[in-house]
Amino acid sequence: MLGCEITEPRLRCVVPFKAMPVQMALLRRATAKQLRQWGTPVEIEDAELLVTELASNVVKHVGEGAPAALILEWREGRLRLEVHDTSPVSPSLNEADGDQECGRGLHLIAFIAADWGMVHTAVGKTVWCEVVPAAEGAL
139: confidence class by pLDDT, cuts 50, 70, 90: very low
Domains in the chain: boundaries: 11-137
For residues 133 and 112, what is the distance between their CA atoms, to the nearest angstrom?
Answer: 12
Q: What is the per-residue pLDDT across 60-101, written as a single tens digit (0 to 9) for each?
A: 999 999 999 999 999 989 999 999 999 999 887 764 444 455
Amino acid at 24: M
Residue 138 has a pLDDT of 46
Amino acid at 98: G
Residue 91 has a pLDDT of 84
Residue 1 has a pLDDT of 41
Report the topology of domain 11-137: Heat Shock Protein 90 (3.30.565)
Contact 72, 35 (CB under 8 A): yes
Partner residues linked to 83 by β-bridges:
70, 127
Q: Give the strand pairing for 125-131 and 78-85.
A: antiparallel
Straight-line distance from the first to the last Cα atom of the chain, in angstroms, rounded to the nearest whole number: 42
